[in-house]
Structure 1
Amino acid sequence: MTEPRLITLPTADHGPVTLDEPSWCRGHADHRPDTYRADLTHIGAEHRLTFNGVELFRLMLAQTPHAERTSREVCAYVEETGYTGSLTPVGLYDLAAALDHAADHMREFADQLATVLDGGEGR
């Protein structure tokens, strides 16, 4: 396992905060200095699950090490896009197949999360 990198981020309530940045974190290039310490979050690479080129879900590793109201552990963060559409029977079967594929990808992502939680490397 690669040792975490240290990163220092300015916060609105605690000034500069130094964190261990896990190897799977994509960095903090979009960090805003008016962020509160409790909201500092490590985010991994996005995995986009699509149907006919339209995004259905995003999956990513996430950790909020100073969270006050949620877990501080590494977790899978899932965003659902709110896809809507009018489909023919064939289109509905195609969507079902895409959801089956998305479920397979989510299971693979769960395996990746388990590896990270066991001290291994994430992607």
Structure 2
Amino acid sequence: MSAELPRTVTLATEDFGPVTLEEPTWCAGHADHRSDTARVDLTHCGPAIECTFLGAEVFTAELVASPYASTSMPRLGGRTPGVSVHPLGMTLDPTDLYSLAGALDGYADRLRALADQLTAILTEEHR
């Protein structure tokens, strides 16, 4: 059996100096880390998945966890991993994320119905 050591990363902070964190396997790294970040704001982020249309970003979602977060408010991020969704501006748990996916499915159906209605209008205008 292999006893693999956890990955760690050391990040500079403005209030605690260098802070060494255990880095989750899903973390995409900290290339954009700034040394003027407070320890409470250190965040692990996974790769972002984007929904774009005609070159415009509609949604972005990524796994996140903030190991020193002081908040315990649901949907505002925290120590427990969640999925940060933009432009919603919330961090969702699995139940919320499934609910969002369901809402998007329903919205897609309404968009298709609207496209059908527009097609009928345009077809009628061209008769």
Q: State which of 21, 26, 50 in structure 2 corresponds to 1:24.
A: 26
Q: Give the corresponding residue for 1:80.
A: 87
Q: Between Structure 1 and Structure 2, whose CA radius of gyration is higher?
A: 2
TM-score, normalised to structure 1's length? 0.61
Deviation at 1:4, TM superposition (A): 3.6
**Structure showing greater relative contact order (alpha-carbon pairs closer than 8 Å, 6 or more residues apart):** 1
Distance 1:57 1:49 in 2: 5
Deviation at 1:101, TM superposition (A): 9.3
What per-residue deviation string (whole Å, max 9, x for no partner) do you get for residues 78-97 of structure 1? 0028xxxxxxxxxxxxxxxx
Alignment of 1:33-44 (within 5 A): 33-44=35-46
Distance 1:11 1:30 in 2: 13
Q: Over aligned residues, Cα RMSD in angstroms?
A: 2.4
Aligned pair in 2 of structure 1 residues 10, 54: CA closer, same or farther (>3 Å)? same
Deviation at 1:68, TM superposition (A): 1.0
What per-residue deviation string (whole Å, max 9, x for no partner) do you get for residues 31-63 of structure 1? 111100000000110100123442210000000
Q: State which of 102, 105, 109 in structure 2 corresponds to 1:100.
A: 105
TM-score, normalised to structure 2's length? 0.59
Deviation at 1:3, TM superposition (A): 5.7
Distance 1:44 1:6 in 2: 15
What is the number of residues matched between the two proteins? 85
Distance 1:101 1:8 in 2: 44
